[in-house]
Amino acid sequence: MAEHGTKPLGLDNGLTNYGDRDFARYLRRSMAHSMGISGELLSRPVIGIAASPSDFNNCHRYMPQLVEAVSRGILAAGGLPRAFPTVSLGEVFLNPTSMVYRNLMSMDVEEMVRAQPMDAVVLIGGCDKTVPAQLMGAASAGRPAIQLVTGPMSTGRHKGERLGACTDCRRFWGKFRAGEIDQCEIQTVETRLATTAGTCAVMGTASTMACLTEALGIALPGTAAIPAVDSQRLVAAEETGKAAVRLAHQPILPAQIITGQSVENAFRVLMALGGSTNAIIHLTAVAGRLGIRVSPERLNQISDETPVLVDLKPVGEGYMEDFHAAGGMGAVLRELRPLLHLDCLTIDGRTLRERLDEPQGWVDRKVIRSFNAPVSPVGGLIALHGSLAPQGAIFKRAAATPALFETEGRAVVFEDLEDLSARIDDPDLDVNANDVLVLKNAGPLAAGMPEAGYLPIPAKLARAGVKDMVRISDARMSGTAYGTIVLHVAPEAAAGGPLAAVHNGDRIRLSVANKSIDLLVPPEEIARRLATVKPPPPKQGGYQGLYQRTVTQAPEGCDLDFLAQPRT
Ligand code: FES
Ligand code: MG
């Protein structure tokens, strides 16, 4: 149970120690009075609201309304709401990549939840890295916590078809690069891709993490997929506030919710969603905060046992608004029920079994398939191993081209991101459709692991109609992207992985059947080439230096090594 038993401590929680506790109490209450709060409210359980508003985060545009609705629920249930800001991460507005700052946000959340007087906390996030950061922070802080997500965007319209960020962003950019649409049309499309508040409209990273949060049991049932602009999202916020007050009276800690079993459930749901590759890194990092690890072998076992049930972009057809209308996470969890650990505790105090014992409403089977009539009989993601990735790599088979599953091809190598952008469209680039594009030095240590793994098809091939090629890197890719793409190669090139040894013209073999990725160069030659690889120059001071010295590789979740363990 919680560290402070069952009686909320309110403002007394974590009292500053001046060597005179009564003085500390008196001082804290006098400062609280200066905020104009009545004595009656000051005596209530205090519920923190970790909010992440920012004018650099479009996905969190409705944060103020959500904070207001959560506060309303807290007040109605007899608590005192106290909202506070943390770092906010708007995916496309951060340089070099939001991934670098996920761990920074997690530290902010952990420390502010622990340092300030609260009996429970509501975490409100949405955009890709924010929910993982909040879950990591809350897991480490060890106070009762409940997650609320901002919800997905609704779709826009263009020439009679629906558009949603960001799978359609890529689709239309691909058409523009191939010369199929002109400058005028791409500019029009630009204004129609992301038209409402909320997170990207497809089963990208943000939506995947929202769904996994509900699968873990740390968000209220049915709340993952409600559109950002739907009035029900405000109702969900109000209910989350009420639930947080219940948590203050009957504490449930993150470590009671996030367990080896619930993490396995979340990985299974990830497979059934055909969800984002990034979610593997994030879930690994969240679990790692509590000393929980799921092996790549177990991941592949779960993937092979779990069908893809959800027909959403980027893997399939629909958008998140369709998923919500189709029955949402309740429908998915009920299809997976025989494979789930049902004794897992959820944040409303019930087990997953008790939740799923309640009847499910109507389900749209075009969007959420039944277990026996799935989109695909096996899960969306697998781990690969081999001489090119001794510690593993990730492959989204659900979003790849089956004709390329067994490929042996000639490597076309780009040394880093600058080399890629300088040469990919060079008309003289020696490349054909059967080659394997390789990007080095885009891993966590070298570059903060940007979403550069979706290497563009070289312009001359794109114009000739090539839609997909095997692409390999130590980078990540956006959850909204698709293609035959091998990601998260570990160790990364900058950490001395064999990826650093690949030369133009080497042969590389991908086998999805064998779950392998191999560099067809003799081991002694690979070792000889690696002996000359130098680590990146050290970054000076500050957070960047800390990050570079301590970031872990993808199979450990890219956390900072000193954060990735249970707090004592
Ligand atoms: Fe925030 Fe896509 S930009 S979820
Ligand atoms: Mg994304």
Provide the 10 A C-beta neighbour count for residue 559: 25
Residues present in the chain in total: 568
Beta strands in 153-307 (DSSP E): 156-158, 161-163
> Which pLDDT score is estimated for 4?
45
SS3 state at 252: coil
Residue 422, classified by CB atoms within 10 Å of its CB into exposed (0-12), middle (13-18) or buried (19+), is exposed
In DSSP notation, 430-473 reads ---TTSEEEE-S-SHHHHS--S--SPPPPHHHHHTT----EEEE
pTM above 0.80, yes or no: yes
> Which pLDDT score is estimated for 541?
80
Provide the 10 A C-beta neighbour count for residue 392: 21
Ligand number nearest CA of 94 is: 1
Residue 329, classified by CB atoms within 10 Å of its CB into exposed (0-12), middle (13-18) or buried (19+), is buried
Write out the two tokens for 177: 């690069």
Half-sphere exposure of 422 (CA within 13 A, CB side): 7
Task: Using DSSP bridges, classify how beta strands 46-51 and 80-85 pair: parallel, antiparallel or unpaired.
Answer: parallel
At residue 413, what are phi and psi to the nearest 5 degrees?
Answer: -105, 135
SS3 state at 389: strand
Q: Is the CB of 91 under 6 A from ligand 1?
A: yes
Does ipTM exceed 0.85?
yes
Cβ atoms 152, 320 nearer than 8 A: yes
Say how many Å lie between the CA of residue 433 and the centre of ligand 1: 31
Half-sphere exposure of 507 (CA within 13 A, CB side): 6
Which amino acid is located at 555 in the chain?
Answer: P
Q: Is the CB of 199 under 6 A from ligand 1?
A: yes
d(CA 4, CA 21): 17
d(CA 240, CA 223): 9
Cβ atoms 335, 368 nearer than 8 A: yes
Tell which atom from ligand 1 comes closest to the C-alpha of 480: 2
Residue appearing with tokens 């098809």 = 457
Which amino acid is located at 527 in the chain?
Answer: A
Residue 166: cis peptide before it, omega within 30 degrees of 0:
yes
Say how many Å lie between the CA of residue 59 and the centre of ligand 1: 6
Q: Whose CA is nearest to atom 3 of ligand 1?
A: 91
Q: Is the CB of 393 under 6 A from ligand 1?
A: no
For ligand 1, pick from 59, 154, 209 the residue to mutate: most ligand atoms within 8 Å of CB. Answer: 59
Mark residue 159 as left, alpha or beta (left: phi above 0; alpha: psi -120 to 50; beta: remaining): left
Per-residue DSSP letter, 347: T
Q: Whose CA is nearest to atom 2 of ligand 1?
A: 200
Say how many Å lie between the CA of residue 161 and the centre of ligand 1: 21
Write out the two tokens for 491: 């160790």
Tell which atom from ligand 1 comes closest to the C-alpha of 59: 1
Tell which atom from ligand 1 comes closest to the C-alpha of 205: 4
d(CA 527, CA 179): 44
Question: What is the residue-level pLDDT of the chain in tens, covering all 568 positions?
Answer: 344 456 899 999 988 878 899 999 999 999 999 999 999 999 999 999 999 999 999 999 999 999 999 999 999 999 999 999 999 999 999 999 999 999 999 999 999 999 999 999 999 999 999 999 999 999 999 999 999 999 999 999 999 999 999 899 999 998 998 899 999 999 999 999 999 999 999 999 999 999 999 999 999 999 999 999 999 999 999 999 999 999 999 999 999 999 999 999 999 999 999 999 999 999 999 999 999 999 999 999 999 999 999 999 998 999 999 999 999 999 999 999 999 999 999 999 999 999 999 999 999 999 999 999 999 999 999 999 999 999 999 999 999 999 999 999 999 999 999 999 999 999 999 999 999 999 999 999 999 999 999 999 999 999 999 999 999 999 999 998 899 999 999 999 999 999 999 999 999 999 999 999 999 999 999 999 999 988 888 888 899 999 999 999 999 999 999 999 999 8
Q: Is the CB of 59 under 6 A from ligand 1?
A: yes
For ligand 1, pick from 98, 101, 199 the residue to mutate: most ligand atoms within 8 Å of CB. Answer: 199
Q: Whose CA is nearest to atom 1 of ligand 1?
A: 127
d(CA 262, CA 352): 9
